[in-house]
A and B are shown apart, each in its own frame.
Chain A
Amino acid sequence: DQQVKQNSPSLSVQEGRISILNCDYTNSMFDYFLWYKKYPAEGPTFLISISSIKDKNEDGRFTVFLNKSAKHLSLHIVPSQPGDSAVYFCAASTPDKLIFGTGTRLQVFP
């Protein structure tokens, strides 16, 4: 039972353009949603989060949008940079754990 889904395993974007990573969830009781970035041989790094009572949160080049009626969230990266190339996981928070999607590999090319 996959409660958090990332249906795009990979995304390729040109440097300077917008990257949009998508995530769907099934449980309306999640209270926070988070995005993590993971480089090879490193643990996931926290990127940005959003409360379930908000619909947008922005931090520099990163913006997360939450559409509760569609049970969908997205991460926008503008402008994309080569250093953004990594695997991005969305996660939903419950009181004791994070539930992760399967990840989207983002490649930003020059």
Chain B
Amino acid sequence: ETGVTQSPTHLIKTRGQQVTLRCSSQSGHNTVSWYQQALGQGPQFIFQYYREEENGRGNFPPRFSGLQFPNYSSELNVNALELDDSALYLCASSGPSSLAYEQYFGPGTRLTVT
């Protein structure tokens, strides 16, 4: 069974740029959620995708957007990067082969905005 994978591991961007982060869900999972974890904080929910549609969204501005593909992998796009976007971005999957509330996380992408 393949776990959740994310790429890249680390990324450095300049303020105002755009970034795309990628996630492959665990096999058997059809739902992907994205979280932002700032230093010293718990993960904060950005949004969730199910059947290629956004299924819920946290308190993040529209410049945070996402996609889910037919194979259930997902992308997180952030436009007009700000310094405060520097964080660990976590992808989590869940689905019919697990209890719906149990989410399984990838290792994260560390984004630094300078």
Contacts and interface: CB of A to CB of B under 8 A. Distances in A.
B107 to A, nearest CB: 5
Interface string B20-53: 0000000000000101000011111100100000
Nearest to B40: A102
Task: Label chain B's interface by main secondary structure.
Answer: loop
Given A32-B101, A34-B101, A49-B101, A97 B106 contact: no
B102 A44 contact: no
B35 to A, nearest CB: 8
B42 A96 contact: no
A31 B99 CA distance: 13
Interface in B91-111: 92, 99, 101-108
Given A43-B4, A43-B90, A98 B103 contact: yes
Interface residues of A, number: 25
Interface of B: 4, 33, 35, 40-45, 48, 55-56, 58, 90, 92, 99, 101-108
